[in-house]
Amino acid sequence: MKADDKLICIFEQLHRNYDKIRELETEQSSYSEEVKIVSEGFSKLSHRVVKMEELCETQRWTAKVLSYKSIDTEARIMRNNIMIYGLTENFRYNTKTLVLNFLESELDIDTSEMCIERAHRLGQVHDTKYRGRQDSKRPMVVRFRDYLDTETILSKAYKLRSTYFGIDRQFPKEISIARTQLYNLNEAREARAKYQKVQLRYPAKLFIDGKCVRDWFKVLGTARLKETRGPDPINQRKSVFGEYRDR
């Protein structure tokens, strides 16, 4: 093959290579555009995911606050209720008379002006015998008409320390569990061992020598709309009314 023919072949091959390179550049440019579009879409999607996570966290917090608020409301509805432990079930007269007699004999309380709205036992009957007779001594829930009567009874509950009886305020299940957990904390046990003053205050606060150590219901101090990041419903309503007036 002559030198001219070889050069022609080389130039043709170079042209073919240039064409392929241009095709590759065109494909690369299109791929870059696609990658850019995908990247922008991913960025928007990532931003939406972050917003959704914030919204979920806000809803979780709001649900928690509302749950605590509902528990607190239930507890306040029970503010006139007390629990009495150790009362026998072998008396023939009704539960209200039994409670009034118990208050007079064990706590030295004048019950002539007290009004019990209702009183009933809690739980199932157990096969517990007392003096040869079945006596499960289930706890009794007593609801008084006046809140002052409840406070009077609880203020004299210390007289039952050396007896088999017990009196406490009735709480929702969640608060009762929280109070039990606070009472059994190592801090509370160590404080009682050192003869420090240990108190459980409403609804579930642990105080040692007058200082609040633990507060299970701390979330109650949070506003229900404090963490909401959505639009302000009041301002939103104002803007809607303004648009309506402008029309």
Tell me the pLDDT tens digit for each residue of 135-183. 778 899 999 999 999 999 999 999 998 898 999 999 999 898 888 999 9
Q: Beta-carbon neighbour count of residue 89 at 10 Å?
A: 17
Can you give the pLDDT at residue 116?
95
Split at pLDDT 50, 70, 90, the class of 16 is confident
In the sheet that 205-208 helps form, which strands lie side by side, from edge to edge? 198-201, 205-208, 211-215
The answer to whether residue 5 scores a pLDDT higher than 90 is: no
Q: Is the pTM of this model over 0.85?
A: no
Match 């928007």 to its residue by tokens: 44
Start-to-end CA distance of the chain, whole Å, equals 89
Match 């749950």 to its residue by tokens: 67
Q: What is the per-residue pLDDT across 50-97, written as a single tens digit (0 to 9) for each?
A: 999 999 988 888 888 888 889 889 999 999 999 999 888 887 668 899
What's phi and psi for 206, nearest 5 deg? Answer: -100, 120
> Six-digit token pair at 212?
């609040």
Torsion of CA 39, 44, 50, 55, to 10 degrees: -160
Say if residue 203 is preceded by a cis peptide, omega within 30 of 0: yes
Q: What is the per-residue pLDDT across 113-131, written as a single tens digit (0 to 9) for each?
A: 999 999 999 877 766 555 5
Burial 104-127 (b: 16+ CB within 10 A, else e): eebbebebeebebeebeeeeeeee
> Six-digit token pair at 21?
């390179």
Give the helix/strand (H/E) hosting 19. helix 3-77
What's phi and psi for 30, nearest 5 deg? Answer: -65, -40
